[in-house]
Amino acid sequence: MTYAIGIDIGGTKTALGLVSSGGQVLSKTSLTTDLSLTPSDMVYKIAAAAKQLLSGSGLQESDLQGIGIGAPGPLNTKLGQIAEPPNLRSWWNFPVVEAFKRHFQAPIVLENDATAAALAEKWLGAAKAADHFVYITISTGIGAGIYSHGRLITGATGNAGDIGHMVIDAGGPLCGCGQRGCFEYIASGTAIAREASSLLGRPVTSKEVFELALSGQDAAMESLVNRVFNYIGIGCVTMINTLDPEMVVIGGGVSQVGAPLFDAVRSYVKRHALNPSGRDTLIVPAALQQDAGLIGAAALIHTHY
């Protein structure tokens, strides 16, 4: 048995865990990603927490196979740096791998968080048997991890799969990236809450929007939700037409709505995927909701991706 530390750095919290090569989370903890600290100071806190996890399990750094880090994109895994993630502004261009190297001798690997989550689904989750699949997370934003021909497709700098900024509706609203109608700007949990709040004239969460829509009492919410399901269907068809996967795994907070979303997406794919076999692509929920981020980060060490 070998051990890895998986660290999932997010805009609001950083989750980390000690994970065995068998995929067991032996211990875990989480810290608020305090954006008022310098990234170096935040890394110091994360490293201290990781050392505590080790000593708490009676292990030493020499027992570690390595440390895997998942972080939001854009990043540059070639340089070991965070690049320009919108919700981690104070970390822009921060050499995160080098910063962790000041605290640990073990090998350190960095990949973007959606890519790491895809690897977790391959290792222990819904895509264990698949050689070709796409993992899509629909949460605060939208991202994807691509696994093809038995390996992760990371791209040259670790940014492959950033489908959140694939244009779905070129006449749509203006996204922060400067394009109109980006997938994430019109179909993420943030987008659903923003659109619904403006329609209803009061702040609502995406969870409430689904409740209102599915109760059949609010036609405007019903039509908003159907539009979003359609956008997610379009996103899936584009990935299916591009990559010819066996399976699309959908995770992230918004996927918790369950059957209504999966039924709508399967039906869209059945009607619109170009390749007849693509129309039958399995569309399944992610199996690892809890701890997916830190397990994916640890998988960067434990699996040969």
Q: In the complex, which residues of this chain contact ligand ADP (CB under 6 A)? A: 10, 139-140, 189-190, 193, 205-207, 210, 252-254, 256-257
For residues 145 and 252, which CB has a smaller minimum distance to ligand ADP in the complex?
252
Chosen from Zn ion, ligand ADP, none, partner binding at 254 (C-beta under 5 to 8 Å by type): ligand ADP
The single residue listed with the structure tokens 């890394």 is 43
Residues contacting residue 7 through CB under 8 Å, at least 6 positions apart: 14, 15, 16, 46, 50, 67, 68, 69, 70, 294, 297
Chosen from Zn ion, ligand ADP, none, partner binding at 165 (C-beta under 5 to 8 Å by type): Zn ion
For residues 66 and 72, which CB has a smaller minimum distance to ligand ADP in the complex?
72
Rounded distance between C-alpha atoms, residue 302 and residue 21, angstroms: 6
Chosen from Zn ion, ligand ADP, none, partner binding at 109 (C-beta under 5 to 8 Å by type): none
Q: Which of 296, 269, 264 lies closest to 127 in space, CA to CA? A: 296
Rounded distance between C-alpha atoms, residue 258 and residue 284, angstroms: 10
142 binds Zn ion (CB under 5 A): no
Residues 168-187 that bind Zn ion (CB under 5 A): 175, 177, 179, 182
For residues 106 and 139, which CB has a smaller minimum distance to ligand ADP in the complex?
139
The single residue listed with the structure tokens 């910063």 is 99
Chosen from Zn ion, ligand ADP, none, partner binding at 204 (C-beta under 5 to 8 Å by type): none
Cβ 41 to Zn ion shortest distance, Å: 31
Cβ 56 to ligand ADP shortest distance, Å: 26
Q: Sign of torsion, CA 127 152 241 189?
A: positive
What crossing angle do the helices spanning 206-214 and 189-200 adopt, rounded to 10°?
A: 70
Chosen from Zn ion, ligand ADP, none, partner binding at 227 (C-beta under 5 to 8 Å by type): none
Q: Can you tell me which of 18, 91, 109, 165 binds Zn ion, judged by CB under 5 A?
A: 165
Cβ 178 to Zn ion shortest distance, Å: 7
For residues 59 and 200, which CB has a smaller minimum distance to ligand ADP in the complex?
200
Q: What are the backbone angles phi and psi of residue 188, rounded to the nearest 5°?
A: -80, 170
Q: What is the CA radius of gyration of the chain?
A: 19
Cβ 126 to ligand ADP shortest distance, Å: 16
The number of residues in the chain equals: 305
The single residue listed with the structure tokens 């997610």 is 232
Residues that bind Zn ion (CB under 5 A): 165, 175, 177, 179, 182
